[in-house]
Structures are given as structure tokens and as C-alpha cells.
A = this chain, B = another copy of it.
């Protein structure tokens, strides 16, 4: 039996299904997909090779007229060119206003395919089939879609909700170790910002989680999705609360950008960012030393990095100023107040940030 989590957004509400070896149950969830129009399965090269045929057959057996579009994959293809190419595929393969896009892959596929669905004929149907841990706990939920510009990440996009998110944890077996770790960084984030019980669970089950135990994964993915669903339901368009999900990200984006997206995966950068956000919170007595140590220890115990290497602190702070969450001159950050509780702190003095960047 799948775990089912509802994302409560009025008319845009939808369910997230999480299970193991649950692919056959997907067909039964597609009653709302119009059969008269073509659907398209969008994936990347790696994921399509592994799972494309299986999903294609399920969708076909559900009675859908299904077309396929396979992207090169990777962050470097998440751009306007790929989007333009995808639109052309959608037109030439005969999609219309009643069509549905299925996004099969990690966050890259989900973000591009989601934005294509949001904007093709001003919005068509859209279903997420996340295959990476990061996508299952984060990017497939909440409706942020978009692409990068050469001048910055995720600068173009839409808030656009899928009608269904369907995650089979078995797919994670084939995920590369560093991609798995990237997802774990986001999982830890949920524990720190929102849920001390999840944090405890992550502390006590390190070995089984590292070994990708399916039941552990169902537990933590469900919990992360519940948390994200709760936050998004209260603040769909990121006007307040939703910003909590950015813990570690303002630092992290700076680390990623200053190493040209080569040295760290996103999750590694976020993990280091959480270490420094925690250090800043400790330096200002927002969080006690014991909780701060638990955050850093957990990150270390999952094999995630703790330090950004040899970047100059002044450059990091300068880059953090550019972050799109900062609308004036000052820096706003999410900082942990305790395990399971965090706050959005505005008007932070850049010198204070530079002081803890050691």
C-alpha cells in the first residue's frame, strides 16, 4: 500500500503517492488524464534508459496515447534552448490543450517539464514521477518549475502545481552515491527547520538509511513531503514561511557559484551552508551549543562535507548579496533556533557573516 499525502491548495490540491515496488499502481491513478489527447513522457537520457520502457508500458496500458521526449539531462541542459526544443516536440507530436506532461527523472527533468507544462498553450496537465532522492523529497512537491539563464540559476519559471506526484523508492537503488547524498542533505534540512523527531530518526538510523533500506526511505520521504506540503499549503508563492526551506541555501548558492558548480553537488553545498548558518546562529546565541553540535555531527555522519575549501570569505558574502531573496542591500537568512525550529532573520550585518566564515 502506498503512503498518500495530500497537498492542500484549494482547487489545485493534489496527492503524493510514495511506495516500494509500486509502479503497477500508477495506472489506476490516471483516471483524470484525458484519453482523447496525446500525453508526453519527458525524461533524461540516463533515467530513460533505466526506466523509460517500464513507464511507457504502464502509461500505454492505462489507455494513454503516449509520446516521448528525452533530454540530455544534467544541470547544463536546464535552459531556454532545451525548453524551446521541448515545445517543438510537444507541437510536432500533436499535443493540445487537454494534453498531459509526465516528468520522469530528477529535479532537472521535473523543473523543465513542469515549466513546459505551465506555459504550453498557457498551461496543460502535469504529473511528476520523481526518480532521484532530491526530487522525491523536494523538487517534485510544491509547484516551483523553471529553467536557468546563463546569468543565474532558476531565474525563469512559474508556480505550477502537478495533479499527481508518484514516487517509487525502488528507483533510488540505481542512483549514484553522490546524488543520493545530495538528497540526504535536503532531508537533514527538513529535520533541522521543522521536525526534531525526523532529526532523531536520522540520528538513530544512519546505517540503514545509508544502505537505502526501502522502509526507512518510505518513512523519511513521506515525512519530508508532509512537511513540504504543510509549508507550501500555507505559503504557495513564497511570501513568508516557505522561505524556511532555504536553510543553508543562501550560503550554498554562493559556494556553488564561486566554484562554478563543479566542486560541490547542490546538496553538498547546502550541507556546508547549514553548518555555517548553524555557526552564525550559535554565535548570536540563537541556538544552544549542544543543538548546534548535533546539526554539524549529523551532516558529518552522513558523509557530507563541512567546509567550503579555499574561497575567500569576502567573496562569499558579496555573492550572498546577489541572492534573489535579498531585495534591499541587507542579507536575510534562515537560521536554526533549535533542532526542529528555525527562523527567518533579516537585516544581518555582512561583517557578522564574514566573521564566522572560517
Binding site for B on A (CB under 8 A): 36-37, 80, 83-84, 87-88, 91-92, 96-98, 115, 118-123, 144, 146, 149-152, 155-159, 237, 324-325, 327-328
- Residue numbers in B under 8 Å from A156 (CB-CB): 87, 119-121
- B158 close to A92 (CB less than 8 A): no
- Interface of chain A: mostly helix, strand, loop or mixed: mixed
Cα distance, A314 to B9, chains bound together (Å): 47
| Nearest opposing residue in chain B for A118, CB measure | B158
Would A152 and B119 be within 8 Å (CB), given that A98-B327, A324-B96, A324-B97 are in contact? no
Q: Which 3 interchain pairs have the tightest Cβ spacing? A: A91-B151, A122-B157, A80-B84
- B324 close to A123 (CB less than 8 A): no
User: Which interface residue of A88, A118, A122, A237 has the most chain B CB atoms within 10 A?
Assistant: A122
- Residue numbers in B under 8 Å from A119 (CB-CB): 115, 119, 146, 156-158
- B149 close to A122 (CB less than 8 A): no
Q: What are 27 residue pairs bridging A and B, where the CB atoms are less than 8 Å apart in the complex?
A: A36-B328, A37-B327, A80-B80, A80-B83, A80-B84, A80-B87, A84-B149, A87-B155, A87-B156, A88-B151, A91-B149, A91-B151, A91-B152, A92-B151, A96-B324, A97-B324, A97-B327, A118-B158, A119-B119, A119-B146, A120-B156, A121-B156, A122-B146, A122-B157, A122-B158, A122-B159, A123-B159
Cα distance, A98 to B239, chains bound together (Å): 11
Cα distance, A120 to B115, chains bound together (Å): 12
Cα distance, A157 to B92, chains bound together (Å): 18
Cα distance, A157 to B119, chains bound together (Å): 5
User: Which interface residue of A37, A96, A328 has the most chain B CB atoms within 10 A?
Assistant: A96
- Picked from B37, B97, B149, the residue with its CB within 8 Å of the CB of A88 is B149
Besides A36-B327, A80-B80, A118-B158, 15 new A-B residue pairs in contact (Cβ under 8 A), listed by A number: A80-B84, A84-B149, A87-B149, A88-B150, A91-B155, A92-B151, A96-B327, A98-B327, A115-B119, A119-B119, A121-B155, A122-B144, A122-B146, A122-B237, A123-B158
Cα distance, A98 to B332, chains bound together (Å): 15
Cα distance, A308 to B46, chains bound together (Å): 51
A243 to chain B, nearest CB (A): 12
Cα distance, A217 to B158, chains bound together (Å): 37
Cα distance, A91 to B121, chains bound together (Å): 26
| Nearest opposing residue in chain B for A122, CB measure | B157
| Nearest opposing residue in chain B for A328, CB measure | B36
- Residue numbers in B under 8 Å from A96 (CB-CB): 324, 327
- A155 close to B84 (CB less than 8 A): no
Cα distance, A36 to B149, chains bound together (Å): 24
A106 to chain B, nearest CB (A): 20
- Residue numbers in B under 8 Å from A36 (CB-CB): 327-328
A149 to chain B, nearest CB (A): 6
Cα distance, A119 to B123, chains bound together (Å): 13
User: Which interface residue of A84, A120, A146, A237 has the most chain B CB atoms within 10 A?
Assistant: A84
- Residue numbers in B under 8 Å from A97 (CB-CB): 324-325, 327
| Nearest opposing residue in chain B for A156, CB measure | B119
- Residue numbers in B under 8 Å from A237 (CB-CB): 122-123
A4 to chain B, nearest CB (A): 28
Cα distance, A114 to B150, chains bound together (Å): 21
- Residue numbers in B under 8 Å from A37 (CB-CB): 327
